[in-house]
Amino acid sequence: MGELIEHSDNGDENLGVIQVGETGGNVTLKTYQDIYHQVTGRTEQIRKRYSDNLLIDFSDVEQLNIKIQQLCDVHKIVASNEVVSVFHEMERKEQFTSFERFRAYNSSTASPTVNLVLKYSFSIIPYGLRRPQEYTVSIRLASRVALLKQIDEEAPPFMRGRLAAFVAVNTAEVTIDYADYVIARGFVEAFDEWIRGCQKSPPIYWLNKLRRWSEYIPGVAKLSVGSLITWFAFQAIPTYFGSSAQPDVWARFFVVYAGGALILVPLAGAVGTLLEEAVDSFPVLSYLKLNKGDANLISDYKNRKAAVFRKIAVSSVFSIILGIVSAKLEKLL
């Protein structure tokens, strides 16, 4: 005879009841599942990035929080929470469970701020509906000067320029997980308005265009000097290779122009590399100023501009000298 094992849900009347919250309130398992699926259910997402050279201090962040709160006053919020995360150098992180706690942030910290992330979660009941909808607004603000400092310290020299141009492009980003696009669009427009009101460093359009092609500067410098040497050597052929030319003249001609090419072309490449580094590292201020470490870093970064100008001036002077030397090689014959 077989053995029948029966599992019944009717044996314990409290089996379908669980406790939730700090007060330990009882809710049915079905109710909890419905709430869970609604809160964690699939939503749409909208994201917008900004590359403006933002100059942000603590008062600007406070104004951003006020804008978000004012927008919330328009809607019927049944539940909400917020988290503020501050990311420093060496992967150090501070997290605050509310903006009010964030106001007590230690501004005497010597470690510069790399990123500031504000995350707001809301349960909103739209007008005319009874069922709440879940919204998450995530805002990331980046300090370009802190990112560039990390790249200078950690990246190999040959990668710094390219890596800086790739990593330190976006200075702000807003991401919204939403159920209703109209409500989500309101948060995006509020952030747009805040961005427009922030203080900014003026964009340098010629610099951005030049950076797109800066990696070709060493190659162009080599090609230019090599072309000059070839051209002047070609022009000198009738003078030194006539019917009465002696073998020693031929030898000096080849030694001077071949040696000049072997020496001047690599020098031109080195000068081009110096100019490329100056273009890629040209300081355009964009920062978060929340503590003393940020203030010190900003001050140091401003002083870098003079060094970059000197590098550009030196590379330009050497380029001119190399061009003149290339044209005067025949004087050595």
Q: What is the per-residue pLDDT across 97-124, written as a single tens digit (0 to 9) for each?
A: 999 999 888 888 888 999 999 999 988 8
Alpha carbon dihedral 85, 298, 52, 119, in 10-degree steps, equals 10
Question: What pLDDT does 1 receive?
Answer: 42
Q: Name the β-bridge partners of 86.
A: 94, 116
Q: Is the pLDDT reported for residue 33 higher than 80? A: no
Q: Is the pLDDT reported for residue 9 higher than 60? A: no
18 pLDDT band (50/70/90 cuts)? low
Question: What pLDDT does 6 receive?
Answer: 40
Nearest to 163 by CA among 177, 175, 152, 179: 152
Mean pLDDT, all residues of the chain: 79
Q: How far apart are CA 162 and CA 168, in angstroms?
A: 10
Q: In terms of pTM, does the model score above 0.85?
A: no
Q: Is the pLDDT reported for residue 298 higher than 60? A: yes
4 pLDDT band (50/70/90 cuts)? very low
Q: Is the pLDDT reported for residue 28 higher than 80? A: no
Q: Is the pLDDT reported for residue 139 higher than 90? A: yes
235 pLDDT band (50/70/90 cuts)? confident
- Name all contacts of 80-85 with Cβ < 8 Å and 24+ positions apart: 80/120, 80/121, 80/122, 80/123, 81/120, 81/121, 82/118, 82/119, 82/120, 82/121, 83/117, 83/118, 83/119, 84/116, 84/117, 84/118, 84/119, 85/115, 85/116, 85/117, 85/119
Count of other CB atoms within 10 angstroms of residue 205? 8
